[in-house]
Structure 1
Amino acid sequence: MQDGTGGAGDPSEKLNVAVTFIHGMVEKAAAYLPSVVGALIVLIVGLWLAGRIKKLVEAGITRSGKVDQTLSGFLSSLVHYGLIALVIITTLGVFGVPTTSFAAVIGAAGLAIGLALQGTLGHVASGVMMLGFRPFDVGDFVEAAGVSGTVKHIGLFTTEMSTTDNKKLIIPNGMIFDDVITNYAGFTTRRVDFLFGVSYDDDLNKAMALIKEEIEKDGRGKTDPEPTIAVDSLGDSSVNILTRVWVDRDDYFPVKWALTKAVKERFDAEGVSIPYPCRSVYMEKTE
């Protein structure tokens, strides 16, 4: 039996234990307080600076006018997240956490993610290259990755096109950048090629003069360089006259269609024949 002067159930003894515990906790907190305050200051200031630097990078890229808006947003975000990661690692270092092993873990995780997403990351890298080097722009008619169409949107992962019959094509950027790209809108002028066949009995000089007159009458052909009109080959049933006319890019198909019709009608009016394919058949008599 315990007396009333002290013991496990004595309130004064419990109070002493509580005071001792709180005193120890305060001493430990006081020892960590400089690190905690320093870590909080580094975290707050670092995040603020990361946001400011992101805005400055995005504004600088946008002002240059040489980088696509999608790419400028991607690059500024990449800088932003990289700075945030650096701020977090620095904060942990100030707090007393060993950052060497932490950085190694981040590197290993990044390598694993990169290997798992290497196909996707390859498309992103191709998208960055396309947005940076600009092999084509939105609105250009191009042929790439085995398809052709008008470019509607260039993203980081895919490029959207519409075909001539208005089908929507979504193509991974890696397939486009790894292939030959034919940009039909790359230059302001294009050359329209024609091949007009006339009969062997027709006057070639007359036919060539008629073609030249129709080109001049149309008026959309360039004079520098001048149109080319020449006998190209002797076919099975016709003499083929090669005609090349340089025009403005937007006039390519209108000129091609208009001159094909005009030359055919002019040949008909002037008696120049466009022969049908023919074949001679010789039959031998058998007794």
Structure 2
Amino acid sequence: MESIVKDLQNFFTQGEKLETLIRVGLILFIGFVILNIIKSLIVKSIRQKASSQTVMITRKLIFYSGAFIILFMALREAGLDLNILLGTAGVAGIAIGFASQTSVSNIISGVFLMSEKTLEVDDIIQVGDKTGIVMSIDLLSVKIRTFSNTLIRIPNEKLINSEVTNITRFPIRRLDINLLIHFDENITRIKDLLLDLAEKNSFCLSNPEPLFVNNGYGEHGINIFFGVWFEKQDFLKLKNSILQEIQERFQEHGVHIPRQSLELYTRETGNDPIRSGT
């Protein structure tokens, strides 16, 4: 390290080194200009065929590899003893390696994530109670932006050991709605109301068709499952509109949604129940 410092001091104190300084500056300037041109050409050539994730990783790989070569050439032109520099870097690398076992684990997990291709940049994913848009997939972590515009960094090791839901993996999705109706209601009438509602909603797809299922009798009423398909970008528009339309249509046609109640019996009242709504 002392030798490197002395080389730098000699380099800047000797007037005849001005020419070398200019050459070093030209190497850095021209090198990074050429690097950016090469990076742009390669990225442009693969952009249409590769995913956003692959393009981003390729861009970073080209830049860091090229920057290392350019800096190596500039230091050699400056007359620095690169053997000492590389030796110092090797010792530092060993020390850092012992202190960064978690980082190595994250890198290995990152390679698995990229090879599996379960998520890509711009996908909407859910990890635990966190939901957001994938901003970047790096070797150490995945960064997502939540819908409240906050950034969350999730280490790759944690991500690969967790259940990850990719909400926008496929172009269409199904919104599942569970309803509870009174025992006295006509199931056929309820089905016709819901299917007609889905047909008139501009965000519901007709293919695949909406799904209506009678899930049987529960403790407080009849359990109905109603599923409608939609394009993934219309999720919030569909959910807000169809839930409101179901409520309005049920009120319009007098469909009764039962209130769950609890009956309590006391010794003093005998068989007379005390009702409490929930």
* Coarse TM-score class (shorter-chain normalised): 0.5 to 0.7
C-alpha separation between the residues in 2 aligned to 1:259 and 1:103? 65
Q: What is the aligned partner in structure 2 of residue 58 from structure 1?
A: 39
TM-score (norm: length of structure 2):
0.65
Q: Are residues 1:206 and 2:189 paired?
A: yes
Q: Are residues 1:244 and 2:230 paired?
A: no
Cα offset, 1:173, TM superposition? 3.7
Of 273, 277, 285, 2:256 maps to 273
Cα offset, 1:125, TM superposition? 5.2
Bigger drift between 272-281 and 106-115 goes to 106-115
Which runs of 5 or more residues in structure 2 are unaligned? 1-23, 75-80, 272-278
- Helix, strand or coil at the partner of 1:165: coil
Bigger drift between 185-194 and 75-84 goes to 75-84
C-alpha separation between the residues in 2 aligned to 1:103 and 1:265? 73
Contact 1:55–1:76 (8 Å) recurs in 2: no
C-alpha separation between the residues in 1 aligned to 2:150 and 2:36? 38
Higher Cα radius of gyration:
1
Cα offset, 1:209, TM superposition? 0.8
Write out per-residue CA displacement over residues 216-241 of structure 1, whole angstroms, 9 at most, x where no aligned residue.
11132222211111211311111011
Higher strand share: 2
Of 52, 56, 62, 1:76 maps to 62
C-alpha separation between the residues in 2 aligned to 1:125 and 1:191? 35
C-alpha separation between the residues in 2 aligned to 1:86 and 1:145? 44
Write out per-residue CA displacement over residues 175-214 of structure 1, whole angstroms, 9 at most, x where no aligned residue.
3344333221211111001112111011111111111111
C-alpha separation between the residues in 2 aligned to 1:267 and 1:134? 40
Instruction: Quickly say closer, same or farther: Cα 1:258–1:232, change in 2 above 3 A.
Output: same
Q: What is the aligned partner in structure 1 of residue 152 from structure 2?
A: 169
Contact 1:191–1:252 (8 Å) recurs in 2: no
- Helix, strand or coil at the partner of 2:261: coil
Cα offset, 1:115, TM superposition? 2.5
C-alpha separation between the residues in 1 aligned to 2:138 and 2:231? 30
Pairs aligned (count): 236
Task: Give the AA of the match of 1:166.
Answer: N
Task: Give the AA of the match of 2:58.
Answer: S
Q: What is the aligned partner in structure 2 of residue 262 from structure 1?
A: 245
Root mean square deviation, CA, Å: 4.3
Write out per-residue CA displacement over residues 136-161 of structure 1, whole angstroms, 9 at most, x where no aligned residue.
213x3211365222234445544433
Which runs of 5 or more residues in structure 1 are unaligned? 1-43, 89-96
Write out per-residue CA displacement over residues 27-75 of structure 1, whole angstroms, 9 at most, x where no aligned residue.
xxxxxxxxxxxxxxxxx9xx99xx6996787356424223655523432
C-alpha separation between the residues in 2 aligned to 1:170 and 1:82? 27
- Helix, strand or coil at the partner of 1:150: strand
Contact 1:194–1:243 (8 Å) recurs in 2: yes
Contact 1:208–1:241 (8 Å) recurs in 2: no
